[in-house]
Amino acid sequence: MKKYSTIHYQQYLELEQLLSSQKPRSEELGVPAHEEMLFIIVHQVYELWFKQIIHELDSVVGMFSDDLVDERSIGTAVARLDRVIEIQKLLIGQIRIMETMTPLDFLDFRNYLFPASGFQSFQFRLIETLLGLESSKRLTYNNQPYDSVFPEKQRDILRGIESGKTILRAVEAWLERTPFLAFKGFDFLENYRKAVATMLDKEKNAILESDYLTDSEKSMRLNMLGSSDSYFQSVFDAQQHNILRGQGRLSLSYKATIAALLITLYNEEPILQMPFNLLKRLVEIDENWTTWRYRHAQMVRRMLGQKIGTGGSSGFNYLAETASKHQIFSDFHNLSTLLIPRSELPQLPNDVRKELGFYFSKGKNESV
């Protein structure tokens, strides 16, 4: 019979070490500031949750690292990304706790923090890198590389991840391998092109036949509508897509983009539901980090106004800019630009629908 060792709650969680890790500098310097304890605990909790997020993301990257991804792994990956999303909600909500401290409360101990800064959080930079934020797309920190604040060992870790498998690149490779684009007798891209042309023609006619729009308003709306040659050009023309990718305006390969588009358009087909859920979770994670960055920036403006950050950044302005520019899964967000109404969606042939569904023979209960 297997024996299990016993352990006390306090030992298991190493509470003595954990609860003795709050050492306010204001107390050490003989000018105790009551609010510094809150400041320390909030940031320590952030780092603990960052550690859990890294644990989840590492596992997801591992699932997509093999050439053959077990379909059951997609469900597990979605569940773990769901957990990341719930943690992000906590991180966003935690800002409200920090905001119970007033700007004057913060100034009681702020001068003791120099030059420490949240920019020096290695774990947060690790999360960004694991997700797929590339150095070339980052805002510079004091005109220095983002990893310049870390020792060489940590810089090597970040560079190794960026040059290896990130969530973005692992999912891109998986999308490129999906068999959904190779249906016999059904050319998805050609059928989609025709559907887009039909949709745009209907929208143009609706604008031209409108009784309440002036000629100038009609002209403006037609220009905004674009055409199948310009609005959707990066989808219909692989060369144009690659040009935009080379300019840094797109991240995914052409093949991965088309696969993601098909999954999104036909997401109600049984076999495509879980892949679609995966793409949705990545978009939500991106949105949550944007929200967190923006809320963080708003908190900094509330506390500091236009003061520079303790780490030497421009404070609020820098943080607000990262919220708009440090997005990783923009290509999945932008798929919405390419969607067409269900009524315009090309009908899948029966044999294709059969491949994307779950069918069983009546007699033997075997998949067909």
Residue 221 to residue 228: CA distance in whole angstroms: 15
**Per the structure block, which two tokens stand in for 92?**
């966003």
Residue 319 to residue 313: CA distance in whole angstroms: 9
Backbone conformation region of residue 54, classed left if phi is above 0, alpha if psi is from -120 to 50, else beta: alpha
**Per the structure block, which two tokens stand in for 236?**
């219909």
Query: In this model, does residue 367 exceed pLDDT 50?
Result: no
- For 243-282, write each residue's pLDDT tens digit: 989 988 899 999 999 999 999 999 998 889 999 999 999 9
* Share in percent of the chain as helix, strand, coil (round to 5): 65, 0, 35
- Nearest CA-CA partner of 61 in 110, 131, 117, 4: 131
Q: Is the peptide bond before 349 cis (omega within 30 degrees of 0)?
A: no
Query: In this model, does residue 362 exceed pLDDT 50?
Result: no
First vs last C-alpha separation in the chain:
46
* Domains defined along the chain, listed by start: 10-22+31-179+269-327 (1.20.58.480)
What is the pLDDT at residue 215?
87
Q: Taking residues 184-210, report their average pLDDT.
A: 87
What is the pLDDT at residue 323?
85
- For 12-41, write each residue's pLDDT tens digit: 999 999 999 999 999 999 999 999 999 999
- For 83-128, write each residue's pLDDT tens digit: 999 999 999 999 999 999 999 999 999 999 888 888 899 999 999 9
Specify the pTM: 0.88
Q: At a CB cut-off of 8 Å and minimum separation 6, what does 189 contact?
A: 181, 235, 236, 258
